[in-house]
A and B are shown apart, each in its own frame.
Chain A
Amino acid sequence: MAKSSPQTSGTGVWAQLSGLLGRGPGGYAFLSIYALVTSLLLLFNPRTNLFTDIVFILFLLMILAIYRTKVHIGFKIALGVITLGLVLPAFGTLNPYYIDVATQAGIFATLALGLNVVVGFAGLLDLGYVAFYAVGAYLWSIFSTPQVGLMIAGATPIPSGWFYGFILVGLTVGGVFGVLLGLPVLRLRGDYLAIVTLGFGEVIRVLAVNLDKPVNITNGAQGIKDIERPPLFFGDAFRAIAGAFGMQLDDNQLYQLFFYFMVLVVVLITILIVSRLKNSRIGRAWTAIREDETAAIAQGIPLVRMKLMAFAVGASFAGAMGVIFASKQLFINPPTFDLLRSIGILTMVILGGLGNIPGVILGAVLVTLLDLQILPRIAEILRSAQKAGWPIPAAFDPTQYQRLLFGLLMILMMIFRPEGILPEDRRRQELHEDDE
């Protein structure tokens, strides 16, 4: 069945590209050369500049190419392990800036995948998603620092080894918050739901600012600092491996690698869970609700329960990621979790393709790169142009204009391509499953 169907998806470039790399050795050769060239360019020129930026972006986009090219699944996995598991970390030890970008992209990919469960699968527009992330982050921040003593008199911070357990706690608490928010609001119509979740997100942020009295829970606007990192139980082994390659790693570098791998693993687990849910009775019920609520009810799907489940699942990813984020960041404060962050995550989901897992990841990576790399680079270029006498206003700093970026992306995507860059294609996906 897979072979008989003509190209079902992809317009223009994509169709041509996938046709070219359709079968035979072409795909293998293309991927190998692509991987080799970008890897070498990164490893031998690890300086932070525009050229490296572009190579780095191409390097990350290679994952998409690996995913889309028709080659043996084993080859895909091997190449993925080499690029993400070896090349990128090695590059990271040479230039810590880029691996931090990659880690951030991974964090946002998880958040976007979680939000995608709510918005993409179930069709519920949640504008307060970051609230669940905040809950997870504050959870670990409070309990791993002396802040806990301010909240509960006499309590002492828990040992940092509990970090791993707290990821599960964050997962659970996030899910519980999702249900708590969902219970009252999920009977609402779509656009009202959006506004109410937005209000909820704001409420959580306002609470984070104000809950320093009567009991100091969140330490208010000052935020919480010196958040614990988990012990590096394999630090010595890692140092030894790196040493064998002639690299000396300090603690900060090790932590950077640690969080990179941690996030990578979480992203992989998230992808696994989300895609399994998607192709199950639950995922089908979500899609049915998104497509037509009345018809979904007529199939015996309990609307509120399924929506609650979507909310809880989405929220629990955010809760778990919040714990990791707080630990990686060492410091959190309320503005970290403002509406703009929720909007940013929503933009990732919309840009990549509502409901489509690879699309959402692509969206997360693209928006993170735009935000953390391309805007600062444009700012740099503008500054030098300004010095050269171009009429560019002095106060204009592109890195401060994320709203404009997100806003424009949202409007343009809605008008010209509401299904996203990589639209959901259920037919292709069916075929793909048969391939494996």
Chain B
Amino acid sequence: MAAEAKAPTRRVSSQRTPAELLRVIFLPLGQLLAFILGSAVVLGLIVVVLAFLLSRSDPKILQTALAILPQVIIDGIVRGFLFATIALGYTMVYGVLEFINFAHGEIFMVGGFVGAGVSYLLNQWGILANLPAILFVIIVVLIGMTVSGLLAMGTERIAYRPLRNAPRLVPLISAIGMSLVLQDTVRLVATNTPLGFNARFETPNFGKPFQLATIPLGERGIPVLIGPKAVVFIVAAMLMLLALNYLVNATRLGKAIRAVAQDRTTASLMGVNVNQIISLTFLIGGALGGAAGVLFGMNIGTVNPYMGFIPGLKAFTAAVLGGIGNITGAMVGGIVLGFLEAFVASYLSLFTGGAFSGASYADIAAFSILILILIFRPEGLLGESTTQKV
């Protein structure tokens, strides 16, 4: 198993000083922020250099590239946190069970639908418009987390637990089946209620976008904007990471989860209720996915039953990228992937003179990364290599 499982052996004492505790909880976030800054700078420089080289043939390229750069970085951060929060669910379940919960993308989607449903009801009751935005966010996120978490727990109970000792591919196939069932069940519900296939996610007014800076370009200058919903997304994602770090590293439950991840049999001999811990892992991972779904739906404005599949796949890529089983790794992987996609989506078309549409090739870029990373560094960027036992 990856770093997450190995780490506890170094921490012998069960009691930590508050300073140590703070370090454990906040350090990954600090690392993450430093990482975001670093990758933004590196990718930005690459773009500038490329644009500079290309600008000899077409001088407008450099100008355009620079003008959209800040927006692309913001876009990358938002995408990155999206993948990161979904990836946490994959990575936690994998850490504990060594099992790819294929249906996790659908847990995310359900979160989005629950959010849309709640906001529809609030709208029907006429209280949506008057609700303070922050209160609204808290309400829908909490409900979305609850439903998704319980759903994830339920899927484990029904479709995975009976197969826990079966060959590896058996629960995976069951999980694929679960993913399809969830997609169509939600579709069945959605199309037979006023929500519809493409359900609108109503929100109260969040206010105007924040203007971070103005790029002095041309006569008027181009404003760098970040929407309030994107800010909510980023802040919420960071809070979730903090909460998860606290939970895993500083509580009894976290210790039990790490113990089960390391060695299920021994953990059960030590009196850990393995089934309960696995259920809780699904609950936590599902709740995080659900929250991501709500925030994503809120950001985009609509949700549909199939929207979880591709982000799910990409989040899995992110989890693998960061070293599956490793929580900080999942966040880092998500950010890398988010940046990469944002850059490919925005610049590919610009740099190739419109020959390749960036948005579609962003998917291909993501999958290519998955394939490359699995082949050349299957333990991920932050994972430790392990030897197969014979």
A residues neighboring B (CB under 8 Å): 123, 125, 127, 184-185, 187-192, 194-196, 198-200, 202-203, 206-207, 209-210, 213-214, 294, 343, 346, 350, 393-396, 401, 403-404, 406-411, 414-415, 418
Contact = CB atoms under 8 A, between A and B. Distances in A.
5 contacts: A195-B316, A210-B360, A213-B356, A214-B352, A410-B177
Given A192-B378, A207-B364, A395 B192 contact: yes
B364 A403 contact: no
B375 A125 contact: no
Contacts of A210: 356-357, 360-361
Contacts of A191: 99-100, 168-169, 172
Given A125-B169, A192-B374, A206-B363, 9 more contacts: A184-B375, A185-B375, A188-B374, A189-B378, A190-B169, A192-B320, A214-B356, A404-B184, A407-B180
A410 B103 CA distance: 13
B214 interface: no
B173 interface: yes
A415 B180 contact: no
Interface stretch (B45-53, B70-78, B139-147, B159-167): B159-167
Contact of A202 (B163, B177, B184, B363): B363
Contacts of B99: 191
Nearest to B182: A407
Contacts of A393: 192
Contacts of A343: 176, 180
A118 B188 CA distance: 34
A343 B184 CA distance: 14
Q: Which 8 A-B pairs have the closest CB atoms?
A: A410-B177, A407-B180, A407-B181, A199-B367, A404-B184, A214-B355, A411-B177, A393-B192
Given A185-B375, A410-B176, A194 B169 contact: yes
Contacts of B370: 195-196, 199
A414 B371 contact: no
Contacts of B356: 210, 213-214
Given A196-B371, A199-B313, A411 B178 contact: yes
A257 B179 CA distance: 39
Interface in B86-131: 99-100
Nearest to B309: A339
Contact of B313 (A184, A185, A198): A198
Contacts of B100: 191, 194-195
A284 to B, nearest CB: 19
A243 B377 CA distance: 67
B361 A407 contact: no
Nearest to B171: A414
Contacts of B171: 414
A410 B180 contact: yes
A411 B181 contact: yes
Majority DSSP secondary structure for residues of B touching A? helix
B181 to A, nearest CB: 4
B328 interface: no
Contacts of A407: 176-184
Contacts of A409: 177
B69 to A, nearest CB: 25
A322 B172 CA distance: 28
Interface residues of B, number: 48
A192 B370 CA distance: 10
Contacts of A294: 390
Contacts of A415: 159, 162-163, 174
Contact of A185 (B166, B172, B371): B371
A209 B178 CA distance: 28
Nearest to A411: B177
Contacts of B173: 125, 346, 350, 410, 414
A391 to B, nearest CB: 11
A403 B183 contact: yes
Contacts of B355: 213-214
Given A196-B371, A414-B174, A403 B313 contact: no
B191 interface: yes
A233 B192 CA distance: 52
B22 interface: no
Contacts of A192: 320, 374, 378
Interface string B352-390: 100111001101100110110011001000000000001
Nearest to B372: A184
Contacts of B364: 203, 206-207
Nearest to B370: A199
Contacts of B170: 414, 418
A50 B101 CA distance: 40
B63 interface: no
Contacts of A209: 360
A199 B317 CA distance: 10
A343 B181 CA distance: 12
A396 B192 contact: yes
B266 interface: no
B180 A194 contact: no
B185 interface: yes
Given A123-B169, A198-B313, A184 B178 contact: no
A125 B183 CA distance: 22
A174 B286 CA distance: 39
A392 to B, nearest CB: 10
A393 B187 CA distance: 13
Give the most central of A190, A207, A411: most B CB within 10 Å. Answer: A411
